Structure formats: C-alpha cells, structure tokens
A and B are shown apart, each in its own frame.
Chain A
Amino acid sequence: KQEVTQIPAALSVPEGENLVLNCSFTDSAIYNLQWFRQDPGKGLTSLLLIQSSQREQTSGRLNASLDKSSGRSTLYIAASQPGDSATYLCAPTRGAGSYQLTFGKGTKLSVIP
C-alpha cells in the first residue's frame, strides 16, 4: 500500500524567499508523480507531473525533482509570492500496474507580504 508523507505540514515564509517542500512515498514502483495546489474550499490545480523515468520538471518558478529509488520528491518554489499561499499536495501513483493516485496530507504554505 502506497503511503505518502509530506514535510513540513505547514510553512510560513516572507515574500521573496525560495523554499522547498518535501514528499516521501513508500512504494517506488510508480508511473508518475503529480504536484497540486489546493486553495481553501476549492479543487486541485495540477502544477507539475513527473514521469517515473524523469528526474525533474520545471514550470516557471516551480521545479519538481524525483528520486524514485529512494521514494522522494521535492517541490522548489523560487521567489515566493503571497499568491503562492495554498496547500500543496504530492501524489504519486500507487504502485506497479496502477495509475491511481495516493495523496499526502499536504503542506500548507503561507507567504507573508
């Protein structure tokens, strides 16, 4: 059974700071891993998808890395802005043969102006 842990659970940083969110998962036989953001009371917005064969993906100020063998992924946010405040969710696929996602509890990010 895939289990996902996200550290820290909450993070507060001043505007402009670079930050790293961590995700670890127990079953490394994944197809891919997605990072999402969720604003309060809203659905999920997909940020990045990393295929199991990839090491990293970049989109704007976001960079996600994947170390499948050690069961780790990080999301790097550069030059944080107040609009980045949200909960960030890491979701690897379950394991061999499954495209279903397993979610961590998320990291709640607050960027202080």
Chain B
Amino acid sequence: GAVVSQHPSRVICKSGTSVKIECRSLDFQATTMFWYRQFPKQSLMLMATSNEGSKATYEQGVEKDKFLINHASLTLSTLTVTSAHPEDSSFYICSAQPGLATRSYEQYFGPGTRLTVT
C-alpha cells in the first residue's frame, strides 16, 4: 500500500515552454501533498505544500507564478513549470500524506521526475 506515482519520469523541453508534472496517490487519499526539488548531490528542498481544494503554500524564494501547483482532488496534484529556463533543470519529487483521515502523517514519496530544459 501507500503508493505514489509521478508522470512523466523524464521530460526534456525547450526554454520558454511549460511543463506539467502529475503526482498521484494510488491507494489512499492524500489530504496534503508536497513538492520538492533536488539538485545533484544535494538534499531535498521543499518547494510548496498543497492541501486539497486550497491554494498551495510556497516556501520562501519559490516563485508561485513560475511553479503553479494544483491539488484538485484527494489523489492528484500537479506542478506546472511555466516559461522554463535551463536553471529549472532538476529532479522534482512529490510526496503525499494521508493526514487527518487516518491520523497518519507519514509522507510517501513518488519516484521523481527528471526535468531537463534545453
């Protein structure tokens, strides 16, 4: 149980285009989902926290107009990187948390999406 999927696993896009990454909890409902990015040999940095039906809360320094997050259902959150630039190239990972419904605050992570902007 507690499986989280991400799609796509890899994406290459041209500078100036937008890319959407999906994060799904497959066998549980996620009250909260989180988006992280990870640079090579670095730790995970939290970008934003999203609760179903609410606006996402962004970490300091993360541009909300550039990284659009939608959490439209209890099993799906999307991250859209708008007007992508080479410096946005990174490994993006989502996690899902069952939360209040099950009193479980454990986070379950997706397999990640490797974004390369050329």
Contacts and interface: CB of A to CB of B under 8 A. Distances in A.
Nearest to A4: B43
Contact of B109 (A31, A41, A44, A49): A44
Contacts of A32: 105-106
A42 B9 CA distance: 10
Interface residues of B, number: 23
Given A31-B105, A99-B105, A100-B49, A44 B93 contact: yes
A43 interface: yes
A34 B99 CA distance: 15
B107 A101 contact: yes
Interface string B53-97: 000000000000000000000000000000000000001010101
A36 interface: yes
B111 interface: yes
Residue from A93, A103, A106 having most chain B Cβ neighbours under 10 A: A103
Interface string A63-102: 0000000000000000000000000010001000001111
